């Protein structure tokens, strides 16, 4: 499969995630959109890694492996982020009975 | 006694008053009157003893240079912190510490009514004053001299304004300080000029700079003229000559012993000393010498005429000091440096005597200074009366009192310079005799004109005050005998001989003995006549003196203060007012506040960025990233 398909798919996922972050007010949905963006990047990394690996197999069989390593890092960080982020959202809901981020605009003052 | 070598003792001379200053200044809240008086007078006595020792053990010939450390060393310029001891500085050391000591002793009684803290402050200043003056005369170069020069300026300010709660006194202190600064500026420029041309400020390098020892001169004629004129302007500030003399009469605001110190031992003689010290430069600039002589003569005459009509006992003495300083400058200008130094010396004794005597009178009358309200003090103040009489005779120049010899030397030098100068100087000397005896007769003669209460309190001053008076009276008589002119006694002029290492004896035109006798006789006779006129005029006190436009003119001191006020002070005030009302609020404040206003306006404009909405911030972040990426892709290619 040509690399272009992967590129377009991950660009579409990233854009959906970004627009979601910018437009939605529900904290949980924003959170999901962030995950979407992270995974779009993961997809891209894996696609490029595979491409380079196949192309340079004869020269160096280890090439392109680092891209996939990064994907694992991102997954770990995303998992950690989810645990902290969800905890924050739970606390937020307990305090203000809402997960609307517009409600939390006190930073302005 | 191997430890106490010549340099050690020489260093002690200025260090002792400095020590006294530190002890009294720091411990003024903890020491008693008695301790303060003993410490400060004690250090002065020791300094005087050290000065005497240095004077007797002074190595003959070349001056002794004592280098303490390098003060300024920049590139080729090297200014050591060094002292120069030779005949001239040793002589001044004796005068300063000797008279300074007597004034300290006198002050211990005169200022006794001050609280211990104020008493300590007073003596600390007094010691610092003497220290500065010692630094001034001991310095081996113009820079050290200048440090002392500034020191005496500062101390005079502090002491004139000692009773600073009185606004008039504080004003007088300011006036003295500001006027001195004007002269100091000229002095400083002269020093810079000298450094720029010769690279050295040491006194012993002056002959080399002038090219008198086989080398080509480093100073052109114009340099010498410029430097000497600037130095002279410096001297007019410190030594109260036209046009910077008006601070000295106002300096009477300070306690009377301070006036004695300023007028006799320290401060005003600094200008004379400085010019005598740089006499080689002045001799090389005949034009400047004439200017010095003319200014001195004009000051002498001006001050003497003003003194004729003053009614404040200290003001009369102040103007007489200005006048006598004019005489000294006349001598300097006539090239008779020795005569000037001689007059500094005799004047120091009799003027200290007169000021301390007037202090005794003021003390007895409980602060009264107006001679119209005195009179008849002969009976109640016998010691003051007799010593004051000796002082008056000395300043008038009656044989054999000291003033006769020094004034005669000056008159002779003026005669050699020009007979016109001589005539004016002689006239001024007659005025001197007249106003001094007017002062004397109004103070001590006739009957008491003060309040009944004051008459009741009339008393002779305590021993601490009369003892210095008596000592100074004796010295005022005998000190002139070191400079007896050749014509009266062969080898009598020991002063000129003593100073010959520092001040070369001019082998100018001599006058015949007959002429010299004639000049002496003329001046003595006319002075006696002048005293008689003063006596016959003032023996019967008349409260109403004749008023005419001339006397009014003199009463107002030639309107010099008013003229300065109108020509310099008022325009400056107006300038300051304009700066305060326009320049400062509009331009300075405008600039400062303008910056603030611009920042405020800009921040108002971009305030909307800070919306508090997380989404907004994220949007800006995305826009930023997109921008950076586009730059990467499209521009940086």
Domain chopping of chain A, boundaries = 3-108
* A chain contacts of residue B615, beta-carbon cutoff 8 Å: 21-23, 25, 101-102
What is the Cα–Cα distance from B524 to B399, expressed in whole angstroms? 8
Phi and psi at residue B433, to the nearest 5°: -60, -40
Q: Which residue has the higher pLDDT, B607 or A7?
A: A7
Question: What average pLDDT score do residues B485-499 get?
Answer: 73
Q: What is the predicted pLDDT for the residue at B1?
A: 42
A99: CB partners within 8 A, 6+ apart: A26, A27, A28, A89, A92, A93
B615 touching A (Cβ < 8 Å): yes
Phi and psi at residue A64, to the nearest 5°: 85, -5
Percent helix / strand / coil, chain A, rounded to 5 = 80, 0, 15
B373: CB partners within 8 A, 6+ apart: B365, B449, B450, B451
Q: Indicate whether B59 belongs to any domain.
A: no
Q: What is the predicted pLDDT for the residue at B514?
A: 80
Output the pTM of the full model.
0.78
> Residue A105 is nearest to which of B613, B619, B622, comparing CB atoms?
B613
What is the span of the domain harbouring residue B589? 564-605
A97 touching B (Cβ < 8 Å): no
The reply to whether residue A21 touches residue B615, judged by beta carbons under 8 angstroms, is yes
Reported as a pLDDT band with limits 50, 70 and 90, residue B618 is: confident
Q: Indicate whether B456 belongs to any domain.
A: yes
Q: What is the predicted pLDDT for the residue at B125?
A: 92
Q: Indicate whether B140 belongs to any domain.
A: no
Number of compact structural domains in chain B: 3
Q: Indicate whether B290 belongs to any domain.
A: no
The reply to whether residue B612 touches residue A106, judged by beta carbons under 8 angstroms, is yes
The reply to whether residue A23 touches residue B615, judged by beta carbons under 8 angstroms, is yes
Minimum mean pLDDT among A45-49, B206-210, B508-512: which range? B508-512
Q: Which residue does chain B place closest to A20, by CA atoms?
A: B615
Window A:18-37, CB contacts with B under 8 Å: 18, 21-23, 25
Q: Indicate whether B523 belongs to any domain.
A: yes
Q: What is the predicted pLDDT for the residue at B2?
A: 45
Q: Do B538 and B571 reside in the same domain of the chain?
A: no
Q: Do B596 and B628 reside in the same domain of the chain?
A: no
Q: What is the predicted pLDDT for the residue at A37?
A: 94
Q: Indicate whether B133 belongs to any domain.
A: no
Q: Do B536 and B421 reside in the same domain of the chain?
A: yes
What is the Cα–Cα distance from B217 to B105, expressed in whole angstroms? 49
Q: Which residue has the higher pLDDT, B206 or B140?
A: B140
Q: Do B586 and B455 reside in the same domain of the chain?
A: no
Expressed in angstroms, the distance from the first to the final Cα of chain A is 53
Q: Indicate whether B117 belongs to any domain.
A: no
Q: Do B466 and B601 reside in the same domain of the chain?
A: no
Q: What is the predicted pLDDT for the residue at B323?
A: 92
3-class DSSP state for residue B213? Answer: coil
pLDDT at B424 over 60: yes
Q: Do B374 and B522 reside in the same domain of the chain?
A: yes
B618 touching A (Cβ < 8 Å): yes
Q: Do B534 and B570 reside in the same domain of the chain?
A: no
ipTM for this prediction: 0.79
- The CATH code belonging to domain A3-108 is 1.10.287.3510
Query: Between vectors from CA B348 to CA B343 and to CA B350, what angle results, nearest 5°?
Result: 95
A4 touching B (Cβ < 8 Å): no
A101 touching B (Cβ < 8 Å): yes
Q: Give, to the nearest 10 degrees, the angle between helix B382-396 and helix B419-444.
A: 170
Q: Do B450 and B568 reside in the same domain of the chain?
A: no
Minimum mean pLDDT among B129-143, B364-378, B410-424: which range? B364-378
Q: Which residue does chain A place closest to B618, by CA atoms?
A: A22
Q: What is the predicted pLDDT for the residue at B458?
A: 78
Q: Indicate whether B87 belongs to any domain.
A: no
A106 touching B (Cβ < 8 Å): yes
């Amino acid at each position: 499969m040509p690399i272009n398909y992967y590129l377009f798919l991950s660009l579409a996922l990233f854009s959906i995630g970004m627009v979601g972050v910018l437009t939605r007010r529900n904290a949980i949905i924003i959170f999901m959109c962030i995950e979407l963006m992270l995974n779009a990047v993961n997809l891209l990394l894996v696609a490029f890694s595979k491409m380079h690996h196949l192309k340079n197999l004869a020269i160096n069989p280890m090439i392109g492996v680092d891209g996939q390593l990064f994907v694992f890092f991102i997954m770990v960080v995303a998992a950690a982020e989810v645990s902290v982020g969800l905890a924050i959202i739970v606390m937020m809901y307990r305090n203000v009975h809402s997960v609307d981020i517009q409600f939390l605009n006190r930073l302005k003052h | 006694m191997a430890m106490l070598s010549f340099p050690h003792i020489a260093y002690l001379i200025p260090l002792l008053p400095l020590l006294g200053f530190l002890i009294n200044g720091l411990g003024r809240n903890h020491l008693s009157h008695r301790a303060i008086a003993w410490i400060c007078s004690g250090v002065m006595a020791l300094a005087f003893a050290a000065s005497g020792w240095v004077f007797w053990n002074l190595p003959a010939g070349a001056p002794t240079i004592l280098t303490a450390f390098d003060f300024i060393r920049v590139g080729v310029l090297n200014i050591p912190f060094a002292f120069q001891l030779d005949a001239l500085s040793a002589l001044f050391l004796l005068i300063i510490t000797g008279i300074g000591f007597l004034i300290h002793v006198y002050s211990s009684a005169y200022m006794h009514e001050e609280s211990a803290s104020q008493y300590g402050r007073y003596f600390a200043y007094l010691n610092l004053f003497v220290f500065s003056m010692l630094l001034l005369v001991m310095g081996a170069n113009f820079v050290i001299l200048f440090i002392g020069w500034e020191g005496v300026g500062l101390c005079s300010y502090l002491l004139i304004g000692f009773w600073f709660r009185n606004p008039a006194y504080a004003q007088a202190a300011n006036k003295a300080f500001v006027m001195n600064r004007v002269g100091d500026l000229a002095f400083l420029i002269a020093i810079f000029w000298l450094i720029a041309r010769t690279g050295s400020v040491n006194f012993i390098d002056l002959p080399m700079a002038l090219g008198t020892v086989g080398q080509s001169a480093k100073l052109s004629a114009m340099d010498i003229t410029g430097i000497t004129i600037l130095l002279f302007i410096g001297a007019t500030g410190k030594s109260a000559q036209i046009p910077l003399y008006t601070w000295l009469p106002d300096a009477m605001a300070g306690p009377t012993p301070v006036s004695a110190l300023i007028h006799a031992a320290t401060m005003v003689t600094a200008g004379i000393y400085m010019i005598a010290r740089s006499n080689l430069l002045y001799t090389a600039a005949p034009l400047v010498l004439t200017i010095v002589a003319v200014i001195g003569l004009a000051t002498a005459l001006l001050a003497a005429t003003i003194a004729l009509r003053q009614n404040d006992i200290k003001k009369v003495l102040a103007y007489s000091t200005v006048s006598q300083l004019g005489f000294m400058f006349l001598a300097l200008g006539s090239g008779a440096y020795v005569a000037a130094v001689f007059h500094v010396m005799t004047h120091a004794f009799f003027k200290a005597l007169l000021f301390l005597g007037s202090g005794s009178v003021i003390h007895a009358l409980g602060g009264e200074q107006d001679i119209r309200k005195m009179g008849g003090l002969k009976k109640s103040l016998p010691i003051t009366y007799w010593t004051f009489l000796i002082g008056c005779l000395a300043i008038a120049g009656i044989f054999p009192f000291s003033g006769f010899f020094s004034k005669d030397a000056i008159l002779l030098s003026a005669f050699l310079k020009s007979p016109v100068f001589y005539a004016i100087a002689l006239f001024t000397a007659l005025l001197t005799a007249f106003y001094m005896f007017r002062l004397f007769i109004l103070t001590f003669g006739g009957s008491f004109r003060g309040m009944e209460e004051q008459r009741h309190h009339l008393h002779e001053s305590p021993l601490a005050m009369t003892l210095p008076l008596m000592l100074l009276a004796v010295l005022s008589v005998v000190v002139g005998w070191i400079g007896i002119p050749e014509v009266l006694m062969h080898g009598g002029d020991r002063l000129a001989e003593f100073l010959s290492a520092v001040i070369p004896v001019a082998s100018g035109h001599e006058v015949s003995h007959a002429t010299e006798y004639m000049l002496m006789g003329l001046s003595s006779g006319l002075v006696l006549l002048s005293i008689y006129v003063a006596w016959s005029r003032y023996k019967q006190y008349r409260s109403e003196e004749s008023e005419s436009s001339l006397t009014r003119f003199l009463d107002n001191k030639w309107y010099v203060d008013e003229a300065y006020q109108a020509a310099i002070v008022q325009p400056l005030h107006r300038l300051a007012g304009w700066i305060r009302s326009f320049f400062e609020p509009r331009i300075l404040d405008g600039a400062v506040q303008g910056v603030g206003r611009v920042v405020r306006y800009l921040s108002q404009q971009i305030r909307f960025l800070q919306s508090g909405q997380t989404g907004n911030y994220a949007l800006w972040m995305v826009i930023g990233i997109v921008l950076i990426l586009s730059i990467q892709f499209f521009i940086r290619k």
